Structure 1
Amino acid sequence: MEHLTTLDASFLQAEDSDSHVSLAVGGVSIVEGPPPDYGDLVSAFAERAQAIPRCTQVLRTHPFDLGAPEWVDDPNFDVAHHLHRIALPHPGDDAALFAMIAGIMEQRLDRDRPLWECWIIEGLTDDRWALLMKIHHCIADGIATTQMLAKLSDGGAGESFASNIRAAREADGSILELLRPRLNPLNWMGGIWRATLAATSAAEHAVVGAAELTARVLTAGQESSLNGPVTKMRRYSAARADLAVMKQVSRDFDVTLNDVALAAITSGYRAILLARGETPGPHALRTLVPVSMRSVEDFDLTDNRVSAMLPLLPVDEPDPVKQLEIVHQRLTEAKESGQREGGSAVFAASGSLPFVFSAWAIRLLTRLPQKSVSALATNVPGPRTRQRLMGRDVLEILPVPPIALHLRTGIAMLSYADRFFFGITADFDSAPDVDALARGIEDGIRHLATLGGSRVQPRAAGEHR
């Protein structure tokens, strides 16, 4: 029997605090060719779901939160409760698909059953169909969710871009790792001393980062239409880009791929704020940027292993290149300040408290109208190679983030094979311009690609590529 961690359970408590939110995450696979026979698909998913424990488990909760919820096997599990078949209205274009995605994701999952659904969507243009997987956030973070979805494909979980992330590349760094016995006993005392210094430095770094995160959460940002209560209804849109183009931009300007993506998001938000008649100030877009803390060894575990950073995205800056430079600078400062380690330390510390205290504290905090953060931007590394589903090629994978805590828009990014996707969830009433945000992101990438190409210096005579 497995208990939810404090971080896992916080998504349930945040959902309980606002009847207008559904904290499920989604992934939409756009598949080539006609849809498979429905009976064949049900049989295949019944078999593949059995290999993923969370797909056949339900939550067991305790009265008054006296203990953490537990995952237990569902004695009445029936895959038919989780598979749904639906068709798009004519003409089956992106607008129809996105409206259907929004309508499905805004509904809460039934907590009396395993917390997932699968929707087979037929009637897409160009002889395509789609599969929408919907999973409650208490089960998994972005990387764990993509791993679960990959296990439902024909080839299972293959190689992922997630192996490139910082947490996956770095050594454990724990005291136990640092104290591993050396071959030469004469080195033991030196090793213990270095481990002690490293542990002290890491603790100080985490404390500073936690204090910085706390200060930013408690500091109200600029009044903006991006922050405020949300309704129950949602809108969805998506932006698409070539991964090769984004990588070239990152090389041209000597920044990371994530910097390029966040700069494009900055450009998109600036465009819609100006279109709304608002002046994008320097404190208008404090953004929640989740950061993975998952090592390679933990890729197969279904839980949440994330921390967070809270950078200000420079929507006040009109120049795209300067936007990118500022994004790079602020993300670098946030990483070096210890925000990543501080956020992780806070949840680790809360896990040592009796669950009833942390549960009630999270419910109280999530009921308060926060005014410091205006947007969510989460980057989820996806599969490196193209997947197949029921013998058909998966052309695209669109991520679907939730929104909550007065954030009226949320953006999830996902890299898949040679493409990069931005999935945008928005409140129906307060963000009718979600498509404009998506187009602004695509325009931002195109502008940076053009400007990056113009910065290439001409080669000297006789110089070869």
Structure 2
Amino acid sequence: MADSGAVERMTAFDAGFLDAEDADRHVSLAVGAVSVVDGPMPDFDEIVAAIGEKITTIPRLRQVVRRQPLDLSAPEWVEDPALDLAHHIRRAALPHPGDDAALFRFTAEAMEPRLDRERPLWQAWIIEGLADDRWAILMKVHHCIADGIAAMHMLAGLSDGGEGESYAGAIRAAHEVGAPRPTLPSPTLNPVRWARAGWNATTAVAATAAMTVEGAIGILSGLVRNPESSLNGPVTTMRRYSAVQVPLAKVASVCQAFDVTLNDVALAAITDSFRSALKRRGEEPHRDSLRTLVPVSVRSDDARDRLDNRVSVMLPHLPVDEPDPVEQLRTVHRRLNRAKSSGQRQAGTAAVAVVKLIPFALATRAIRVVTSLPQHGVVTLATNVPGPQHRLQVMGREVVRMFPVPPMALRLRTAVAILSYGDDLIFGITTDFDAFPDVDDLAAGIGAAVDTLAVAARPL
């Protein structure tokens, strides 16, 4: 964090989330998380004081965005001189019986409105009336502040014990198959060895550049080519939300039995549920029916506490045309490995780097134009967010469940966030209200698919 006298400007990439929001009046680009806490609920004023004390330690949550005239330079982060927690921390009560259905309906409604840009870009809802004498906190933060991993790091830091250990290391981008890394020649006086080493480094750089170009072509083609489907198209301002929770031990058994990753299992479960959704709609699933935007973290360990966006993307086709769940899993594994080595992630990272180099006025206009175009290639988003390995506590009370809430944009009528928390893996699904009246079936289908894979993983 810069000192109080320095001007801190938003990066063009972070500002792009504001531009993408401006490009479609039907979307709100805020990410959220619902923490369900064991009761009884403390006095509301005590909760406000406790949350407020934590919030004020995070500079970004005390700041407002100030855009410059004609967007000639990047927006500034400016301290809000009149920060009033009453504008940000609100109270709600669920109707009886306070079940998941009621919680999910409220979550969808609370996430629909855009955050007020005249104030710091966050909001907290204190929700009472949950079943089993529980209550909940819904935290809502604009995507321009942080990507999923940074936002979860921040939200976990608001708990009693701070962030604690997370599952981030298990899905770190550094462990993924990727482009060859160029190796610089080591110091030597032997001209033959120096020339050979230099040639190797040049070849590696050229291979990386070629892979990046190939990946960029794959991304661009994925944005324009896709059969017509009820799964994508214009969205309304209204949302639905649902979630499903599965034991991580069950997912781990599948990983071990089939030599795949947690992300493979999660995407395979999503595949099977979307296949069922297409069948319910009378649509025949094809090989290219479910091209999916999969964000990939490029955040290093030493940047875990930086509130910004550090992601690239892959655009694999999830195999909804395959009826067998185990074969779906194997195909997902192959396609993700192919996508990782195709250069898509490198192309996404390169695009972000280019955005940072060109003048902000040009960058912001380009982002608004691109995000306003009616893309037809990508159908849904599936993002994996590593959460705390151990259950958190708020005001001495245990957070027993946590639900991620992803935003929607770019004509994507569904978005799925996958969160690991404690001993569970949670899938949170945001959909357009009109396009997905069957959002609960979509969530249940993911849970059923994990169960099916777990049965198949058992030794004979």
TM-score range, shorter chain: over 0.9
Which string of whole-angstrom CA distances, capped at 9 and with x for unpartnered residues, describes residues 416-435 of structure 1? 11100000001111110000
How far has the Cα of 1:217 moved from its partner? 1.6
Tell me how far apart the structure 1 counterparts of residues 133 and 247 of structure 2 sit (CA, whole Å). 23
- How do 1:189-204 residues align onto structure 2 when only pairs under 5 Å count? 195-204=201-210
- How do 1:282-293 residues align onto structure 2 when only pairs under 5 Å count? 282-293=287-298
Whether contact under 8 Å (1:6, 1:358) holds in the other structure is: yes
Residue 267 of structure 1: aligned partner? 272
User: What amino acid is the match of 2:302?
Assistant: E
User: What amino acid is the match of 1:325?
Assistant: R
How far has the Cα of 1:42 moved from its partner? 1.5
Secondary structure of residue in 2 paired with 1:126: helix
Residue 461 of structure 1: aligned partner? none
Tell me how far apart the structure 2 counterparts of residues 75 and 310 of structure 1 sit (CA, whole Å). 43
Question: Pick from 412, 415, 421: which aligns with 1:410?
Answer: 415
Which string of whole-angstrom CA distances, capped at 9 and with x for unpartnered residues, describes residues 146-203 of structure 1? 0110111001111110122233558x9999x966987x99899587766555444333
Tell me how far apart the structure 2 counterparts of residues 76 and 197 of structure 1 sit (CA, whole Å). 57
Tell me how far apart the structure 1 counterparts of residues 210 and 25 of structure 2 sit (CA, whole Å). 39
Residue 139 of structure 2: aligned partner? 133
- How do 1:34-73 residues align onto structure 2 when only pairs under 5 Å count? 34-73=40-79
Structure 2: any 5+ residue segments left out of the alignment? 1-6
Residue 460 of structure 1: aligned partner? none
Question: Pick from 437, 447, 450: which aligns with 1:442?
Answer: 447
How far has the Cα of 1:211 moved from its partner? 2.1
Asked whether 1:324 is paired with 2:333, we answer no
Tell me how far apart the structure 2 counterparts of residues 77 and 438 of structure 1 sit (CA, whole Å). 38
Asked whether 1:338 is paired with 2:343, we answer yes
Change (3 A) 1:198 1:51: farther
Change (3 A) 1:192 1:392: farther
Residue 366 of structure 1: aligned partner? 371
Tell me how far apart the structure 1 counterparts of residues 168 and 142 of structure 2 sit (CA, whole Å). 21
Bigger shift: residues 1-10 or 241-250:
1-10
Question: Pick from 62, 86, 89: which aligns with 1:80?
Answer: 86
Tell me how far apart the structure 1 counterparts of residues 27 and 233 of structure 2 sit (CA, whole Å). 13
Residue 104 of structure 1: aligned partner? 110
How far has the Cα of 1:254 moved from its partner? 1.1
TM-score scaled by length of structure 2: 0.94
Secondary structure of residue in 1 paired with 2:415: strand
Asked whether 1:27 is paired with 2:33, we answer yes
Whether contact under 8 Å (1:115, 1:136) holds in the other structure is: yes
Secondary structure of residue in 1 paired with 2:46: helix
User: What amino acid is the match of 1:32?
Assistant: D
Whether contact under 8 Å (2:180, 2:207) holds in the other structure is: no
Change (3 A) 1:363 1:321: same
Tell me how far apart the structure 1 counterparts of residues 318 and 201 of structure 2 sit (CA, whole Å). 37
Tell me how far apart the structure 2 counterparts of residues 173 and 413 of structure 1 sit (CA, whole Å). 26
Kindly tell me the number of residue pairs found equivalent between the two proteins. 452
Whether contact under 8 Å (1:162, 1:168) holds in the other structure is: no
Whether contact under 8 Å (1:168, 1:294) holds in the other structure is: no
Aligned-pair identity (%): 57
Residue 162 of structure 1: aligned partner? 168
TM-score scaled by length of structure 1: 0.93
Residue 93 of structure 1: aligned partner? 99
Structure 1: any 5+ residue segments left out of the alignment? 458-465
Change (3 A) 1:186 1:297: farther
Residue 276 of structure 1: aligned partner? 281
Residue 114 of structure 1: aligned partner? 120
